[in-house]
Every structure is written in C-alpha cells, then in structure tokens.
Structure 1
C-alpha cells in the first residue's frame, strides 16, 4: 500500500447513541471528525476500550508519512464493519474452505510439541482432520466438515474478523479455532505457524527474509488476539 501523510493534530473518542436506540457507540475521531472507512462507513464500535485503542494507534503516528500497516486495529475493525457485518455467511464460507484444506493437514513433521498438543485438543472435541505427509490434496470426512461448519456458524463478527487475520498469517483455521477457544497460547500458535521458517533458519542460518516473515506472523496473531480481547470488553 502507498504511504499516507499525517494531517490531524488531535485524536479523541466520541460517544454517541446508536441508531434506533441500540445502545452507545464510540467513534475514534481525528480533529473531532469520525474516521471514515474505504467504503464510506463510519468507524464506530460498541466497546470503549477498543475505540480508545484505535484512537491510540492513530495518536502514535508521527509527523510525516506512514504506512496503513501501522494501524492494525483500525484495519481489522474496518474489515469487520465493511466486509463481514453485511453478510457473515461469506466469511464463514471462505474460512470453511480454508479449513477443509488447512495447512496443518499437510504435516511435514515441523510442528513439534505444540502441533501434537493442538491435534490432541481437537480430537477431544471430535474434530479430527485427515492429515497427510504427501503433497496431494486431502478429502476431509463429513464429520470433520460438519463440526467445523457448526463451529464457524456460532462465531460472531469480531471472532470472524480475528480468524481472518489468523488464517491469512498461518493458513490454518484450526490454529485460529484453538487460539480462540483456549486450546493454544499465543506462543504455541506462533510456534506452529512459523515452524517451517524456524526449521529453515536452523538448517541454513540467519536470514533477514525468514526473520521478517516470523516477526510479521507473530505480530499478526498478536494483533488479532488484542482486537478480540478489546472487542469482548
């Protein structure tokens, strides 16, 4: 994405009654004006802590240019408002497709103890994906498909937004499922989705690109976890 330039002097949070008397919403504001998202929606949330955290990341932007990647909570919230909220069946369907061809279904033996823990945790919940050591696509059993479909159907818009970030970072709905449900810690989830890169580093030594990939994935998962925690307060 192209760089943006800071144009605002002050950042605040506006409290306002939602339409149709549906509670209170909180809007991060730049120089007293609410933030507009790419499709024209106002960036407004029902949780003051989330609004304050979004405002804080705009407040941390220094004078001059900045990259949109500097505003992760804004990006995730905007996705929730403009891409998920209008029709939640669309992200659920997309996430189900990822889950049927989950990255963890192609186990190259690099996941280690954290991956074993995850698979045992999933099995306890009757979620048993077909796993292969080969390269050919796997076909999942109906029971797995139904369990994953049911779980996704119960996720709210904030959880779907967080899952979208996690899946893009690591290619795994199953890691996201466990992270949301307490089956994995953040550190364990990062260990699983960066296993290949860490194995390459161990074999070939330090590499700036591999290190950057690991850090990016770790930051993405942290952003998703932070967003979800704030959206639940």
Structure 2
C-alpha cells in the first residue's frame, strides 16, 4: 500500500469525525495495514518542513503535502510515522490526523473555525459554577478564578458567571474581545490546535490562557478536569473512563503542540 493510498483510507477519518475518542475507536476497528516504508524523516523544502517516508513527501487525504512551517511540529509528525511497529495504527497518530484536518479543512474555513471558538466563549465551562458542596465551590474558585482573571486582563473584557445550568449571556463586548485575540491565531495548524484544545476542555478561556502563555498544558488539563477529579476523589476511578481520558490526553497534547508551536 502506498503512502497516498494509506492516507486516503485512514487519514480522512480525522476530517469526518469531530470526536477524537470516537475517531480513535473507529480507527482501531479497521484492519491495520502493514508498514510499507523503512524510515520517516523531516525534509526542508521551499520554506516548509515536509514529512518524508523513504524520502518521498507524505500527503494528506486531499493530496496536499504533509508539510508545515514549524520544524518541531514536523519532527513530532515524523516521530509518529517512525514509531517502531509492524502495523500503521491511526489511533496512535493523533498529530497526523489533526494536521491533516488543518491542511485539508481549516485552511479553507478559518473564519468559520474562529467563529466557533468565539461561540464557545458564550457558554464557557469556566463560567458555570457549582452551588454545592462547599469543597467543590472553593476548589473551583481557587483554580478557575485566577485563570479567568488572567484572560480577562489580557483581552480587556469581563465574563459573567452563573451557578448551575442557568444560561448566562456574555456581553457582546466580551465576545468581540475574544474574537480579536482569536484572530491573532493565523496559521491553519495553530488554529486547528486552538479549536481542539477548546473542544477537549470545553473552554475558550482555558485555550486562551494556554495560547497567551499564562498556564502550561498540565495546568490547563487539570483545570478542565477539576470537577471530574473531584468526583473521582469521592467515588473512585472507572477503568473505561480512565481509558477514554487517556485517549483524550494524547489528542490534547497534539493540539497543544500545534497551538503553541504551529
């Protein structure tokens, strides 16, 4: 099977399937092809860093070169392809799937992607707080409030908080401020990373805190799972849930790389 045939068969999964966990599970059900190349490396051509399989540039499902402007991203892509294995498993290649999506989809739909990120800010997870128990209320305040205030100071606008599931409409001035900062994420791969960070955390605020360098990936991941971890502390960890979370974390790490270095 050639590189193009493989990408046409498996790479498009990342474009059609917005849920990274479902995408990975779907890919796992496919019959995995045998590895058909010896090496994966990064080649610099025309100002771009190409992922090359046995010297030949790999291509996305839409037949765009698998090439990016960031060497660290290209090296991470090549590492996915070079990982020791007799089979090619798309479920273990979250960065490749995400970059395929960026190059084949986001590049032509950047305004729609930015609009979706701004729309998320209108019902951001960090703006909806628990009313009880007091331990959780205090934990949310301790972890989420500094992040929210940091982003608010950076964008020059304020978010409205709500308790429970009662919808709190955010001021248009706040959404406009978010839009101005999201517009600064120009590269398609970085924008794809921003969108996936937002989706996996349920929060544009957390994505902006990461993009602005106010928090690192581990802090953002922990903040996004604060409620879940609180419940785990009470009831214990479910094995299936832990497995799904581990898959999401690999997707998150790929998205963080694109957002911060794409």
Q: TM-score, normalising length from structure 2?
A: 0.77
CA separation in 1, counterparts of 2:224 and 2:165? 18
Structure 1 stretch displaced more, 116-125 or 98-107: 116-125
The residue number in structure 2 matching 1:44 is 67
Q: Which of 12, 25, 29 is 2:48 aligned to?
A: 25
Residue 106 (1) aligns with residue 137 (2): no
The residue number in structure 1 matching 2:219 is 188
Counterparts of 1:126-141 in structure 2, within 5 Å, are 126-141=156-171
The residue number in structure 1 matching 2:144 is 115
Residue 198 (1) aligns with residue 229 (2): yes
CA contact (8 A) 1:102 1:174 kept: yes
The residue number in structure 1 matching 2:5 is none
The CA RMSD measured in Å over matched residues stands at 2.0
Shift of 1:192: 1.2
Residue 156 (1) aligns with residue 186 (2): yes
Q: TM-score, normalising length from structure 1?
A: 0.86
CA contact (8 A) 2:147 2:209 kept: yes
The residue number in structure 1 matching 2:177 is 147
Residue 59 (1) aligns with residue 82 (2): yes
Alpha-carbon distance change, 105 to 213 in structure 1, aligned in 2, over 3 angstroms: farther
Residue by residue over 1:58-80, the C-alpha shift from the partner in whole angstroms, topping out at 9 and shown as x without a partner, is 000400352x1311221222222
CA separation in 2, counterparts of 1:14 and 1:84? 24
CA separation in 2, counterparts of 1:97 and 1:38? 29
Task: Give the unaligned 5+ runs of structure 1.
Answer: 18-23
CA separation in 1, counterparts of 2:125 and 2:229? 16
CA separation in 1, counterparts of 2:84 and 2:159? 43
CA contact (8 A) 1:194 1:214 kept: no
CA separation in 1, counterparts of 2:204 and 2:180? 13
Shift of 1:229: 4.2
The residue number in structure 2 matching 1:10 is 39
Shift of 1:227: 2.9
Q: How many matched pairs?
A: 224
